[in-house]
Each structure stands twice: as C-alpha cells, then as structure tokens.
Amino acid sequence: MGLALIRYVWNDPTAKRGKKGTIVAKVLIIDDSGFQRKWIAKAVEALGHDTVEAADGQQGLELVEREKPDCITVDLNMPNMDGLQFLANMEGRNQSAPVIVVTADIQADTKTQCEELGARAFVNKPFKPDELQNALTACLTKQLKRSE
C-alpha cells in the first residue's frame, strides 16, 4: 500500500537527501510520549527519511489512511488505542506497511504477541539509534524486495 511512496534516488541527481541507491521513505511514528517521538524522529531522519507523528493508535490509524506511510513505529502502552489494538486493526485492514514495535515492555510474551499480530520488528526502550535504524532499514529493504 504505502510502498509506492518509497522513492529511489539512484538516478536522481537533484535529490537533496539520501545517498545514491538509498531508500527515502515516509515513516509514521506512534507514541504518546513527546520525548520518545522526538528521539525516534531524530534517529529516522538521520537516515534521510521523512516522518509524521501520532500520539496514540487511533490517530495513527487516521494517518495511515491519510499519509500512506512506508513504515510505522508504534509504542504499546498508550491511551485511547494501544499498540496491540493498533496492530490488530492494521491486520484487519490488510495494510502492507511494516510495523516496528518500540516499547519499554521487555517481556518475551509481549514480543511473541506482537509478532503474532504482524509486527515485523521489536525494539526495546531505551534503544540506541542504530538499533532502530537497523530494524527500519531491514524492514524497508525486505518490503521493497517483496514488491519487486
């Protein structure tokens, strides 16, 4: 679905960001913590990607429809609609944008449940920027290969 928005800059000499051969994607960040949204955005934008932000799962779903992101990061513990509900909703909508769960919850069962609900990666807070960046790049690369 959102994959069409992934833009190659391989042959684009006018591209302002991204290196030759890299992917520039739109990443939706869903987290009720403004502090975390800033940190995640900083790590994501350092790779040259664009970001949009939502403060809970409900807002996140609205932005999925409107912004058609290429990848999504989602917190689990949020008001209104939590991350697990968001994942369940995404599954029901047959959305293809990969979802990375970024959570303080360190429990193995939580990770398993997220995977069962379709999460492609799981990053524990506090995270080092490269942990999230590696997960994001892996998800986008895999997504791109699937569409080719």
Cβ distance to other proteins smaller for residue 109 or 148: 109
Least Cβ distance, residue 37 to other proteins (angstroms): 9
Cβ distance to other proteins smaller for residue 107 or 147: 107
> How far, CA to CA in Å, does 33 sit from each of 6, 80, 103, 115?
27, 14, 11, 23
Amino acid identity at 59: Q
Parallel, antiparallel or unpaired: strands 23-24 and 71-74: unpaired
Least Cβ distance, residue 100 to other proteins (angstroms): 17
Cβ distance to other proteins smaller for residue 33 or 137: 33
Least Cβ distance, residue 79 to other proteins (angstroms): 5
- The beta strand positions in 55-96, using DSSP E, are 71-74
Q: Which residues of this protein are in contact with other proteins, per CB under 8 A?
A: 32-36, 38-39, 42, 77-79, 103-110, 125-126
Name which of 65, 59, 66 is nearest 29 in CA terms.
59
